[in-house]
Amino acid sequence: MNTHLRSATDDERSETLLVFLPGAYLKPEEFERHGFISAVRERHLAADAMLVDADVSYYYDQTLSDRLQADVIEPQRARGYTSIWLVGISIGGFGALIHELARPGSVDGIVALAPYLGRRVLGAEIQKAGGLRTWHAPTGPQPDEEPDRKLWPFFQQYLEAQPSRNLPPLYLGFGLNDRFAGNHRLLADALPPGRVFTTEGGHDWPQWRELWRSMLEVLPLPLQGRPRQPVTQSQAMAAPPPPAKPWAIAA
């Protein structure tokens, strides 16, 4: 995988790395062009950025997780990054999630912006069952081995009273009119308060840019010169971005 590193400051490297995974047929440099990197710098966050050229071929041949681990995660850990977050848009968000499925605990956090979450038929099945809180994953042989069959049971881990320490915090952002919003709402209902962000609009850069800037206000990333204090649940709920449970609107 080709990568492009952007440091938080011009004179030193941070211990935190944000790994950006683009959407289908998007170029990694578009994160920079649409202000994602400058938004990090404006907030004086001590987080470097790595733009990853993870095109759709890695998804078609199902090598995304192996290449991401071998070409990005492991080398950057060896270079001294103690905290690595995956930030993915659309299929890039899907990539971040299936990487966690394949390599549990290998990253420290995930930001999924308008992620593709698999086939709508599975989402409809979960919706019919009353949502992730009441849905039971099928047991026994499955008709196929597509990753989305494992993705939804993985999301149910976020509903546990005491999730595993290896389960990375997951932040979700999406437009209320996004074409994947039906599945987004199902996932949103499983996440803790303060980790779901919404905006008006659909599946495009203006929405992703607005969501990213809102998320940066609460993501537990260090500030330059000192660690950033973790956001408490009450602070997260008081943050301005999302109204209470907007994803509960019928799709």
Domain that holds residue 43: 3-248
- Predicted pLDDT at 251: 29
Report in angstroms the alpha-carbon separations of 20 from 25, 57, 88, 89, 191.
Answer: 14, 17, 6, 8, 22
The whole-angstrom separation of Cα 127 and Cα 144 is 21
pLDDT over 70, % of the chain? 88
Orientation of helix 120-128 relative to helix 181-188, angle to 10°: 50
Contacts of 194 (CB under 8 A, 6+ apart): 218, 231, 233, 235, 236, 237, 239
Q: Answer for the pair 67, 58: CB distance below 8 angstroms, yes or no.
A: yes
Question: Higher model confidence: residue 249 or residue 95?
Answer: 95
Give the tens place of pLDDT for each residue, 18-48.
999 999 999 999 999 999 999 999 999 999 9
Confidence of residue 143 (pLDDT cuts 50, 70, 90): confident
Confidence of residue 154 (pLDDT cuts 50, 70, 90): very high
- Predicted pLDDT at 226: 62
Question: Higher model confidence: residue 190 or residue 235?
Answer: 190
Highest-scoring range by mean pLDDT, 117-121, 136-140, 162-166, 172-176:
172-176
Q: What is the pTM of this model?
A: 0.87
Domain count, the chain: 1
- Is it the case that residue 185 has pLDDT exceeding 90? yes
CATH of the domain at 38: 3.40.50.1820
Helix (H) or strand (E) holding 125: helix 120-128
Question: Higher model confidence: residue 161 or residue 106?
Answer: 106
Mean pLDDT, rounded, of the chain = 88
Q: CA angle at residue 99 from 97 to 100, to 5 degrees?
A: 65
